[in-house]
Structure formats: C-alpha cells, structure tokens
Amino acid sequence: MVFQGLPVSDPPENWKEMERSVAQILTASGMDAEVQKTITLARGTVTVDVFAQPKKSLYGPIICECKYWNTAVPQEKVFAFSRVVGDSGASLGLLISRFGFQKGAINAARYSNIKLFSWPEFIEYIKPFWLCETTRRCLGFGRVLLKYSDPLDVPTHLIGDQGRAEYKKLISKYRGLVLLLSSLNIEVISQVEYPAMLRDGDIVRAADAFVNNYADMLQVRTADQLFTFLVDTCEQAINEFDNVFNGFDLDDTPYEEVAKYADDLIEALFPEEQSSSRDSGEETVKHTLSVLLDEAAFESVGAESRFNMARELD
C-alpha cells in the first residue's frame, strides 16, 4: 500500500503553511488540533505551534513544534521543547524540521517522549492514525447507506410516487458504492475473532487488505486517493438520500406498507440482466465509481486530484 499525501501531500512552502498542514493532518486523523495555541505550564504560559487532543484515546495532548529553517535543529531547541512538553503534561511532543537535526539534537531526544521528524517522516508516522480514522468514517457511512439502500428498511410508503422514483434512481446509482463499503466492513470483521475487541491496528490491517484487494480492479495504487474519494462520495450519497426522506421518520417502516413497493425498488439493486457472479459485482463497482467521478461530490477533492483519479480509473 502506497501513501501519496493524506490531506496534504506536498511539503509546505513556509512556516505558516507547515503549521496549518500539521493541524489539518492531525484533525483528519481524529484529533482536535489548533495552531498557535496558548497553553498553561507548571510555571506560566507558552504559545505552541500546534496543539492536538486525541478524541478517542487514553493518551494526553500532543504538542508539535514546526521548524521551517534552512539549518539543522540544534540540541538546545530539543531541550527547550522537552521542557514545554513536560511542564504542560502532554503525552507526546513532535518536532518537525525542514532541514533535519544536528547529532546532538538526535541524542537529546533519545529515550524521551519527543519524536524528531522530517516532513516525509511525519507523514509516514501519522498515516496509520489517518487511515484508521478515515476507515472508521467509511464504516459509519456504510451503515447509513446500507439502511438507505434497503427498500424494506426505509419509509418508502410515505414519500409518494415522485419520491419513490427518485429513491429508485439513487439506489441504482449507489449500489456499487454500497457493495464496496460492505466489502470493507467484511474485511474489518475478518481481522478479529471478537469484533467488540476491535483495535486500531486491526482496522489499519483491514484497510491495507481492502486497498490491496481492490487495487487491480479500480487501478488505484494509493490508499489516500481511494479513501478520500470514498468519504466525499459517501457524504454526497447520504445527502441525496436525506433529501428524499427529509422530515420522515426512518424507523416508520411497517412491513405491510413498505412491502407494496419493494419488488419494483429492488430491481434497482439487482437488475434481471445482471448475474450474481463476482465479475458482475466488480463491474457494478467499476461502473458506479466511474459515473461518480463526474458528479459534483468529487469537486471537493480538487481539480488535480480529480484528474489523477480519473486518469487512474480510465
């Protein structure tokens, strides 16, 4: 599995951009991150470059110091940063340097809770956290879309003929996406004997296997491209389904009522001309993603990313 960039791929062009990029990546990795935050120390206060608080972790805050210098960072800067991290009660300090570190700085950080990174090393370090958080988001979207794509699990009897016609178009449009998300869910579950004990490492391994399984079919070689695309497309799909069922109770699904329309709607999920073979399922996924590349949801990925993804899926 190859990573090309997470939310930010290119090296920052100045110190402000470096701080913003670090905060953006940490936020996308499941943390609350702020730039230029003033924090309280054991003695006084200090403003740090980036302050991040993990949302779902027993660990404490993370403090990041960004050095966009043309020289290697000396050991005294590591000692100073270590004091800030220690006096603040943070669990970890990340010192990110554009031009590397002097030998004394490397020795000063050894056996401490300070990690020294170049920009590529920081990306390499953070990518499992980003992948885990993004996979969890996709699994959450998958649960919502699985409900929406089941004609017996939504109040189709309340939305009228026009609403049902729009709903039928949507479940046909997104059936490949639902299949893809279902495969991701199966891959995650297969990693552990007891899903309730699922750990972040299990999710990362599942995401790795998922990308490898679909890399040849989708001609996608980077996990960040695939998962960024999935998140954006899932958000669009959910918004479109929400618009159809806007104002209705999704749990108001008496079987005798929704069953009246189920046969016609299910045709959108399982066309008669489509076989149940694996190849047919793969073609459904391919077709869905190629169509969605032209949709407005992909605008948020950016023109360059859209071009690259379209070229790879071509």
CATH of the domain at 92: 3.40.1350.10
Kindly state whether residues 215 and 174 are assigned to the same domain. yes
- The residues pairing with 285 across neighbouring beta strands, listed in sequence order, are none
Helix, strand or coil, per DSSP, at residue 60: coil
pLDDT digits (tens, 9 = 90+) for 28-49: 888 999 999 999 998 899 999 9
Kindly state whether residues 86 and 148 are assigned to the same domain. no
- Containing structural domain, residue 274: 130-313
Kindly state whether residues 150 and 274 are assigned to the same domain. yes
How many domains does the chain divide into? 2
The reply to whether 150 falls in a domain is yes
- Rounded-to-integer distance, Cα 133 and Cα 25, Å: 11
The reply to whether 2 falls in a domain is no
**Which one of 93, 117, 141 terminates a domain?**
117
Model-level pTM? Answer: 0.74
The beta-strand segments (E) located in the chain are: 31-40, 45-54, 62-67, 92-97, 114-117
pLDDT digits (tens, 9 = 90+) for 59-112: 789 999 999 999 999 999 999 999 999 999 999 999 999 999 999 999 999 989
**Which one of 82, 117, 152 terminates a domain?**
117
Q: Which of 28-42, 123-137, 152-166 has the lowest mean pLDDT?
A: 123-137
The reply to whether 263 falls in a domain is yes
Kindly state whether residues 190 and 240 are assigned to the same domain. yes
- Dihedrals phi, psi of 11, to nearest 5 degrees: -60, 140
Kindly state whether residues 35 and 60 are assigned to the same domain. yes
Closest to 163 (Cα-Cα) out of 258, 83, 270, 227 = 258
pLDDT computed for residue 158 by the predictor: 93
